[in-house]
Homo-oligomer: A and B are copies of this chain.
Amino acid sequence: MAAIRAKVASRVLITGDRLPSIRRFAGVMGVSPSTVVEAYDRLVAEGVIQARPGSGFYVARAAPPLVLADIGPKRDRAIDPLWVSRQSLDADGAVAKPGCGWLPADWMPNAAIRRALRALARADDAVLSDYGATRGLPALRRLLARQFAGEGLDVGPEQILLTGSGTQAIDLICRFIVRPGDTVLVDDPCYFNFQALLRAHQATILGVPYTQGGPDMERFAEMAATHRPRLYITNSALHNPSGATLTPQVAHRLLNVAASSGMTIVEDDIFGDFEPESSPRLAVLDGLARVIRIGSFSKTLSASIRCGYIAARPDWIDALIDLQVATSFGGVSPATAELVFAVLNDGGYRKHMEAVRRRLVRARRDTAVRLEALGITPWLMPRGGFYLWCALPAGQDATTLARAALCEDVVLAPGNVFSVSQSASGFMRFNVAQMGEARIFDVLERALASGRCREKGGGRLETLSAEDGSIRATM
């Protein structure tokens, strides 16, 4: 199957070409005819080839199904962005997740959410069962518009589109302006799902080295001139994974380079509410001319009640609305938007976020101290948020460490998951809010001492990889 699929993918065999007969191909490949029959049948089932009765097998079409695991560099599964996401999302309660990207459930504003749910239970029938407006709940868009105005960004609620999540917001923008083969610039390191998302759009991904003040502008300008990227996706405030923040000078220069090369910028502001005081935003400086602001409430409010947003030029919003209607017949569930609005509007929410920020200050400090005791040192001490991007002791490999920790039910986030250039093998991202369990540090210490796997763990890890491998093998 792989041989045929490769020939099809590489256009050696094109639509309409006749495949070798079963007997001949069995000979060539040195396998039994029944094996070839099975392979051909599967390829027919996948629609890659077609059986023409009495005449043989023919190539049906040039494009095989889009299997993300087959796109981009083949990586050790432990540092494949999708595998790490799936590990974190599907891990059971027994697993500790210092590698995950969210706060523990008991850090979230659950009391306000419960109040909002009880209020929603008393809402009009229409709120409970009708489709919503194409842009999403007006009250929530007005609230966001007021918040933006407070930052000096004047946009009307009609310039805000609610989406199912922050990721869906970026996905919708990629549908709008990224075509297969287009070059997209991300930070190196960057949030690993940016890479997975861009793979789904078959974009060419370029990483620009990230400094403590934002992207390296020398390299950024050079890449803009050489590769003419269509898009640049970044977090300006409390960058994921580094925790760094864009300086005003970099922000200004970045916008000028983008303008001269016709580049669009997606500024993912998902960690903005974790800042102690606000820092420069590309969307504000640019006034949404070429910058698109997106965000969500998954980190601050709830990842279970999901809602994202896009703020952009009115003409772009209009095209995005059509795309969202076509591909999801509207964005966020209206009932979900009602819940988000109710919580944001709840008197307790601002107090809650202040408490979370104070709690994170302590957690960052305490975690840094305990990590440094193991020779793991933060690359910088972030102004806010829950990430510590750390350098491992000399000679330690983050992937080996992550494999060893997984054996003991601890999911870590090794540096190369975040690195397009795969140059972060000596780094690890820690979520300070997820490191309450003392055993996590014991596991880290043991893993550092010997990157090797224990029995049970080894078994577990093999199972995972094997399962996964076999699933892949069938596509």
Interface set of A (CB-CB < 8 Å, partner B): 15, 44-53, 60-63, 65-69, 82, 85-86, 88-90, 102-103, 105-106, 108, 110, 113-114, 117-118, 120-122, 124-134, 164-168, 171, 175-177, 179-180, 182, 193, 196-197, 199-200, 228, 230, 259-264, 289-290, 298, 301-306, 314-316, 318-319, 321-323, 325-330, 333-336, 339, 471, 474-475
Contacts and interface: CB of A to CB of B under 8 A. Distances in A.
B86 A134 contact: yes
B302 A128 contact: yes
Contacts of A122: 114
Contacts of A69: 319, 322
Contact of A193 (B121, B171, B325): B325
B48 A262 contact: yes
Contact of A61 (B108, B182, B322, B326): B182
25 contacts: A47-B230, A51-B260, A53-B260, A63-B179, A68-B326, A69-B319, A82-B325, A82-B326, A86-B134, A90-B133, A102-B130, A105-B124, A105-B125, A105-B126, A113-B128, A118-B121, A128-B302, A128-B304, A165-B330, A175-B200, A199-B326, A304-B334, A314-B471, A333-B336, A335-B336
Given A168-B327, A305-B333, A329-B165, A319 B228 contact: no
A262 to B, nearest CB: 4
A326 B176 contact: no
A47 B262 contact: yes
Given A61-B230, A89-B325, A228-B60, A129 B319 contact: no
B326 A196 contact: yes
A315 B474 contact: yes
A315 B471 contact: yes
Q: Which of A50, A65, A108, A126 has the most CB of B within 10 A?
A: A65
Nearest to A468: B318
A335 B126 contact: no
Contacts of A164: 164, 168, 328, 333
A193 B327 CA distance: 9
B333 A82 contact: no
B65 A132 contact: no
A15 B374 CA distance: 53
A304 B53 contact: no
Contacts of A335: 302, 304-305, 336, 339
A85 B325 contact: yes
Contacts of A166: 329
A164 to B, nearest CB: 5
Contacts of A474: 314-315
Given A128-B304, A200-B323, A193 B134 contact: no
Contact of A44 (B262, B298, B319, B325): B262
Nearest to A164: B164
Given A177-B66, A304-B132, A304-B333, A200 B124 contact: no
A322 B67 contact: yes
A50 B329 contact: no
Contacts of A63: 179, 182
Nearest to A470: B315
Contacts of A199: 326
- Which 7 A-B pairs have CB atoms at the shortest separation, nearest pair first? A108-B129, A196-B326, A117-B121, A47-B262, A105-B125, A63-B179, A315-B474
A275 to B, nearest CB: 21
A335 B260 CA distance: 45
Given A45-B289, A47-B290, A69-B319, 14 more contacts: A47-B177, A47-B263, A50-B260, A51-B262, A66-B179, A86-B321, A89-B132, A90-B134, A105-B125, A117-B121, A128-B302, A129-B301, A196-B322, A304-B334
Q: Which of A85, A105, A177, A262 has the most CB of B within 10 A?
A: A262
Nearest to A322: B68
Given A51-B260, A105-B128, A114-B128, A89 B304 contact: no
A304 B179 contact: no
B129 A113 contact: yes
A114 B62 CA distance: 50
A76 to B, nearest CB: 17
B130 A303 contact: yes
Given A65-B319, A176-B66, A336-B336, A197 B326 contact: yes
